[in-house]
A and B are shown apart, each in its own frame.
Chain A
Amino acid sequence: MGKIIEINGPLVKLQLPETVLGEQVRVGRIGLIGEVIGREGDTALAQLYEDTAGLRPGEVAEGLGWSLSVELGPGLLNAIFDGVQRPLNAVRDKSGDRIARGVAVPALSREQRWHFVPDPRRHENPHIVGGDVLGTVQETASILHRILTPPLIHGELMELAPEGDYTIDEVIGRVQLPDGRIEKLQLFHRWPVRTPRPFKRRDHAVKPLITGQRILDTFYPLLKGGKAAIPGPFGAGKTMLQQQIARWCNAEIVIYVGCGERGNELTDVLEFMPELKDPHTGRPLMERTLLIANTSNMPVVAREASIYVGITLAEYFRDQGYDVVMVADSTSRWAEALREVAGRLGQMPVEEGYPAYLGSRLAAFYERAGRVETLAGDHGSVTLIGAVSPPGGDFSEPVTSHTKEIIQTFWALSKELADARHYPAVDWLESFSGYVPSAAKWWAENIDPGWAAARAAALDLLAASEELQRIVNLVGVEALSSEQRWTLEASGLLKEGLLQQAATDEVDSFSSPEKQYALLAALLEIYRHGMKLVKLGAPARRLIQMPLLSQARRWKSQHKSDDLVALQAKIARIPVEFEQIAVDYETTAPVREDKATP
């Protein structure tokens, strides 16, 4: 038993001789929890996860003997936890609308009974190793929870409970370790959040994560097991984009971490998720979702922990053989929490107050993403998508620039696009993806062999129009040749008819890969037909007036992904539309409208 020596904001100095760095401590009469972040002789420095007001020097303090850990077992899905995995609904039952300090509620319910079905393989061979599946619990209608042998345990399984209903506290098995000790097994186990969970080996990520967002999937794809960042100034659409991904992506488990952001955004997710159906399974989305919330008004120290809690839960589902997506909104708040701790410890700041290890911490965090072969020989993945909130929207600041070095897919949001309400405001010139070759393979095999070429053609068109727009802004559109004007028009068509996608529009909100490709190919076809005519001498002015152009801009919100027949019919009519103009030019020799560019 130790005691408090000094209280200084969230930092307390304790007299606690036997402690080690990272150990959890319980402090004061109201029992606030925290962790040891420094030691000197008999004293320890601890940061507490809750407000320290009211603590007094001399009050008790004790080490708990473990580092910050999470409980892993049935009851995780369909739930919302705080940054240190306290279940917020249970906390509400206990302390009301506001989170009272020192409320202790276990992460997983001790009362609920789960129907456990033992894995028949365990009877064939009693030797088990960490990660082996002991049995299953149908946790929600869409997710089968595989009960895993804790990673560090291996030995002879002496006993495994028969099929039946158990609470997570009950013993469902016993294993004899090599040293003869007997270890009890339960439906859950604990794992320290700052230690990555082990796996057999890393696998190559090969399949794209389909998000249903055209600018992402078609232009800057992400793979299952990949890492992506969404930087953008406030209001550019980071949260909406992450919510769209959480809603529509074809992962099996989604972990949404609200890290230092708005309370209402989590309420929003909590309200819409149960009502929406997973487009891939038809089940309510909430059944595959779990939320971690440390909102901006909740204690900062727990903010730093929340990201690790999230990623550990993600790894746990990965180890069950699932494809997991974790979105973190926002990693900048996590970095700022890190900065605050460093500042209090008196560590030397290097850039904008951040400690020198910012880059390596970020890298180590993103390194926990990936597709792996699990200890049990299955395949699972963790895809990480972090929002970044650069101060003043300046991408050269430390968190954005370090993150950019680490991730493979960069979805840069632009204030200009957001201001004009071009959503998602993903900047098609600033963004990049290192996963295009792998994605191309998948698109070619599953959707259309022409995908890579079409994508490249569209990007070329967008880049060319950028150049033309610069000219227009200097001298006006009249200075462009007909070909150039048509190029500019076609890029506008691409932006409005394909890149823009309204999350709020029921039809447009999600685009299947088939629909994405159909639209992309159709708009390019319009461009090419027009270009052919322009080269034959048709003035761009005339083409621009074709009703087809404004009609095609509406297709995305007129045709649902699961019913593309009518869209295909419209696309099939594209050549016909142009034929009517073509008759005027095809017979006569090409007359070029010769207005040179300056």
Chain B
Amino acid sequence: MKNIEFRTATSAQGGLLVMGGVTGVAAGSRVQIRDHAGRLRSGLVIRSADDAVLVEVFEGTDELDLERTWVRFLDEPFKLPVSRDILGRVFNGAGLPRDGRPPIISADRRNVNGEPLNPAARAYPREFIQTGISAIDGMNSLTRGQKLPIFSGGGLPHNRVAAQIVRQAKLLGEGASSFVVVFAAFGASHADARFFQESFEESGVLNKVVMFLNLADEPVIERLLTPRAALTAAEYLAFDLDYHVLVVMTDMTAYAEALREVAVLRGDVPARKGYPGYLYSDLAEIYERAGRIKNRRGSITMIPVLSMPSDDITHPIPDLTGYITEGQIVLGRELSNQGVYPPVTVLPSLSRLMKDGIGKNFTREDHPHVASQLFASYAKALEVRGLAAIIGAEELGDADRRYLQFAEAFERRFIGQGEEEERSIADTLDLAWELLSMLPAEALIRVSEEELVKYHKATVI
């Protein structure tokens, strides 16, 4: 069937092409469309019956002339050819080269949709990754195989934070970054794409990076394919070639918007804010491809970047993402405006896998308690700050004033750090104790008495 060109289109509008008179077309099959000018477009069968086959056209159906449109059903889903040679290459969202070099030739071509990983085959992520960023390592630690998105907003330095993580991420005791990187940009601006490209170049890792770019002015439907192609490459690198793969994807909001656009065209029932009810499952198909597998050496650690529309964390995109991913690093405008970099708002940030990858045998025995104490003390300090804003700082008691100073120091010195500054986990924890020592030992209930004796600067028990 894939050698026959059909010229039986019966309608074309809104990105959807209807074909008549073709029988036995496989659902989900790829389609190649040749228009009157000889240009090729690609598409996907989304509904198949013998009297009508519905095709979603990636480049859109504009200017298609039904009489002069030739359609070939390729009889297979979207596949990505994979080989070792993908490292160092740049592809478009559909996996075709966009770096001017020849296409990847390989007999190993994989369905970009992947197949669900059997939960009984997963291995639980437990290896602490040091990113060198205190707000992450100390309080929201990342582990190998985790999916931990950055929730951000327009104008916030999420790209710089992501690039810093890529540069610095390593396992304890290992030297330079031990990862290869799969970078996917969808709906990203040329400037964003260039920023990452240059950052990889500067740190000399370009030959360890595979890029998939679908920029803001490129076809929307291809955007739906981009993360899938990127993750197919990542799975190959991780589970066939044993690499530890760090996947950076930006921007999940552009992805979800593309999905909504297509859903509207298909006439799907909307659930919240016009997004289709299956947005959750669709995002899960992407995010759940991170992880580790029993008896395999490699891993996929995923850092999706997501800009929250109007900084609203309850918007469906961050909300559903938070329900799927293993935590979130939230960047805040307030801290950023005060010149704090990286502006990590720690309270709504979370790493769900942290509890299993830190402490004795992993980082340091006091780490779990210190992290918990920082959260508790900072939460309390913010309450005091709220009060001070109402009654004035001078009205505060002594104890409260200490909290105010703690909040300041914590934001400036613990959260704030240089873009090139790489702190070891020991430095991060020592700094945490230095700051906690600004508070009286009796107020530090979350750390043990032994830890107080060992680390609290003003405790002698």
Q: Which A residues have a C-beta under 8 Å from some C-beta of B?
A: 5-9, 13, 51-58, 80, 88-89, 91-92, 95-101, 233-235, 258, 260, 262-264, 266-268, 270-271, 293, 295-300, 333, 336, 339-340, 343, 349, 352-353, 389, 391-394, 415, 419-422, 472-478, 496, 502, 504, 547, 549-550, 553-554
Query: In the complex, A415 Cα to B47 Cα: how many Å?
Result: 42
**Residues of A with C-beta under 8 A to B206:** none
Interchain CB contact under 8 A, A421 and B372: yes
The B268-293 residues at the A interface (CB cut-off 8 A) are 268-272, 277-278, 280-281, 284-285, 288-289, 291, 293
Contact B26 A553 (CB under 8 A): no
Contact A88 B120 (CB under 8 A): yes
CA distance A7 to B77 in the complex (A): 15
For B327, list chain A residues within 8 Å (CB). Answer: 235
15 additional A-B residue pairs with CB within 8 Å, beyond A52-B27, A96-B121, A343-B269: A6-B49, A7-B27, A53-B27, A53-B113, A88-B119, A95-B118, A97-B294, A98-B115, A98-B118, A300-B281, A339-B271, A349-B269, A393-B314, A421-B376, A504-B368
Contacts known (A92-B120, A98-B118, A296-B288); A478 close to B25, Cβ less than 8 A: no
Given A91-B118, A234-B319: A420 and B280 interface contact (C-beta under 8 Å):
no
Mask, B112-130, CB within 8 Å of A = 1, is: 0111111111111100000
Judge whether A267 and B116 touch: CB under 8 Å.
Answer: no
Residue from A53, A57, A267 in contact with B124 in the complex, judged by beta carbons closer than 8 Å: A267
Contact residues in B for A299 (Cβ distance below 8 Å) = 116
Interface set of B (CB-CB < 8 Å, partner A): 23-29, 46-50, 77, 113-125, 239, 268-272, 277-278, 280-281, 284-285, 288-289, 291, 293-294, 296, 314-316, 319-320, 322-324, 326-328, 347-348, 350, 352-353, 355-356, 368, 372, 375-376, 379-380, 383, 386-387, 390-391, 395-397, 400, 442-443, 445, 449
Q: Please, which residues of chain B bring their CB within 8 A of the CB of A333?
A: 280
Closest residue to A397 on the B side, CB-wise? B272
Query: A264's contact among B125, B316, B375, by CB below 8 Å, is which?
Result: B125
How many Å lie between the Cα of A420 and that of B380 in the bound state?
8
24 CB contacts below 8 A, A to B, read A7-B48, A9-B46, A9-B47, A53-B28, A54-B29, A56-B27, A56-B48, A96-B121, A97-B296, A98-B114, A99-B118, A235-B327, A260-B284, A263-B291, A264-B122, A268-B356, A270-B119, A340-B278, A353-B271, A391-B272, A392-B316, A393-B314, A477-B397, A549-B442
Task: Assess A392 versus B319: contact at CB under 8 Å? Given A92-B118, A300-B281, A352-B271.
Answer: yes
Which of A96, A100, A293, A353 is in CB contact (< 8 Å) with B269? A353
In the complex, the answer to whether B23 meets A57 with C-beta atoms within 8 Å is: yes
Q: Chain A: which residue is nearest B121 at the CB level?
A: A97
8 Å CB contact of B387 from A96, A101, A472, A502? A472
Q: CA separation between A547 and B445, bound complex, in Å?
A: 12
Q: Taking A297-B284, A300-B281, A353-B277 as contacts, is the C-beta distance between A234 and B323 under 8 angstroms?
A: yes
Residues of B within 8 A of A343 (CB): 268-269, 277
Contact A550 B48 (CB under 8 A): no
B379 to chain A: closest residue by CB: A420
Provided the pairs A234-B323, A476-B395 are in contact, do residues A6 and B118 lie with their beta carbons within 8 angstroms? no
Identify which of A13, A55, A297, A391 contacts B319 (C-beta below 8 A): A391
Cβ-Cβ contact count across A and B, 8 Å cutoff? 212
Q: How far is the CA of A400 from the CA of B293 in the complex (A)?
A: 35
Closest 9 CB pairs of A and B: A53-B28, A296-B284, A392-B314, A420-B379, A6-B49, A297-B288, A234-B322, A98-B115, A7-B27
CB neighbours (8 Å) of B280 from chain A are 260, 296, 333, 336
* B117-A263 in contact (CB<8A): yes
Residues of A with C-beta under 8 A to B383: 473
Shortest beta-carbon distance, A275 to chain B, in Å? Answer: 12
Which chain B residues lie closer than 8 Å to A353 at the CB level?
A: 269-271, 277
Tell me if A478 and B395 are in contact (CB < 8 A). Answer: yes
**In the complex where A340-B277, A391-B316, A476-B387 touch, is A297 in contact with B117 (Cβ < 8 A)?**
yes
A62 shortest CB reach to chain B, Å: 19
A98 neighbours in B (Cβ, 8 Å): 114-118, 121
Contacts of A58 in B (CB 8 A): 23-24, 50
A contact residues around B324 at 8 Å (CB): 262, 296
Q: How far is the CA of A336 from the CA of B272 in the complex (A)?
A: 12
Question: In whole angstroms, how far apart are the Cα atoms of A296 and B119 in the complex?
Answer: 11
Q: Write out the residue numbers on chain A whose beta carbons fall within 8 Å of the beta carbon of B348.
A: 415, 419
Question: Contact at A267–B272, with CB atoms within 8 Å?
Answer: no
Contact in complex: B119, A263 (CB < 8 Å): yes
Chain A positions within 8 Å of B315 at CB level: 392
Contact present for B23 and A97 (CB under 8 Å):
no
Nearest B residue to A393 via CB reads B314
B114 neighbours in A (Cβ, 8 Å)? 98
Give the distance to chain B from A34, nearest Cβ to Cβ, in Å.
14
A580 and B356 CA atoms in complex are apart in Å by 45
Residues of B within 8 A of A389 (CB): 323
Cβ A297 vs Cβ B285 within 8 A: yes
**CA of A54 to CA of B268, assembled, Å:** 22
Contacts A235-B327, A297-B284, A353-B277 given; indicate if A53 touches B379 (C-beta within 8 A).
Answer: no
For B270, give the chain A residue with the smallest CB separation: A353
Asked if A264 and B353 sit within 8 Å, CB to CB, the answer is yes
Interface centre among B124, B278, B285, B327 (most CB of A within 10 A): B124
Residues of B within 8 A of A296 (CB): 280-281, 284, 288, 324
Q: Determine the chain A residues whose CB is within 8 A of the CB of B281 once the complex forms.
A: 260, 296-297, 300
Chain A residues whose CB sits within 8 angstroms of the CB of B288 once the complex forms: 262-263, 295-297
Docked-complex contact A99 and B48, CB < 8 angstroms: no
What B residues does A547 contact at CB under 8 A?
A: 442
Q: Which of B49, B122, B328, B350 contacts A263 (CB 8 A)?
A: B122
A420 B118 Cβ-Cβ under 8 A: no
Complex: A474 Cα to B395 Cα, angstroms: 12
- A258–B324 Cα distance when bound, in Å, is 13
Give chain A nearest CB distance to B295 CB in angstroms.
9
Kindly state the separation between the CA atoms of A95 and B24 in the bound complex, as whole angstroms.
Answer: 28
Known: A343-B268, A421-B375. A267 touches B119 (CB 8 A): yes
Q: Return chain B residues, CB-CB under 8 Å to A415.
A: 348
**Chain B nearest CB: distance from A570 CB in Å?**
14
Closest to A389 in B: B323
Question: Which residues of the other chain, B, contact A51 by a CB distance below 8 angstroms?
Answer: 28, 113
B28 partner, pick from A6, A52, A266, A392, beta carbons under 8 A: A52
Cross-chain contact of A57 among B49, B77, B119, B356 (Cβ < 8 A): B49
Which of B47, B278, B281 is most buried by chain A, counting CB atoms within 10 A of its CB? Answer: B281
> Bound state CA distance, A89 and B327, in angstroms?
28
Most chain B CB within a 10 A radius of its CB, from A80, A267, A394: A267
**CA gap between A336 and B275 in the complex, in Å:** 13
Q: What CA separation (Å) do A187 and B396 show in the bound complex?
A: 73
Closest to A298 in B: B116
Instruction: Assess whether A554 is in contact with B445, with CB atoms less than 8 Å apart.
Output: yes
Q: A421–B48 contact, CB under 8 A?
A: no
Tell me the bound Cα distance from A52 to B25 in angstroms. Answer: 13
Contact, CB under 8 Å: B115 / A100: yes
Q: Count chain B CB atoms within 10 A of each CB in A55, A333, A392, A549 and give the residue with the most.
A: A392
User: Residues of B contacting A88 with CB < 8 Å?
Assistant: 118-120
With a CB–CB cut-off of 8 A, which chain A residues contact B125? 264
Tell me which residues across on chain A come within 8 A of B268, comparing CB atoms: 343
Closest A residue to B351 by beta carbon equals A235
Query: Which chain B residue shows the least CB distance to A503?
Result: B355
In the complex, A56 Cα to B268 Cα: how many Å? 23
> Is B314 in contact with A97, judged by CB distance below 8 angstroms?
no
Contacts of B28 in A (CB 8 A): 51-54
Q: How far is the CB of B368 from chain A (nearest CB, A)?
A: 7
Name A89's closest neighbour in chain B (CB-CB): B120
Q: How far is the CB of B363 from chain A (nearest CB, A)?
A: 14
Q: A473 contacts B291, CB within 8 Å?
A: no
A571 to chain B minimum Cβ distance, whole angstroms, is: 18
CB distance from B375 to the nearest CB of A (A): 4
> Complex Cα distance A475/B394, Å?
13
A511 to chain B, nearest CB (A): 17
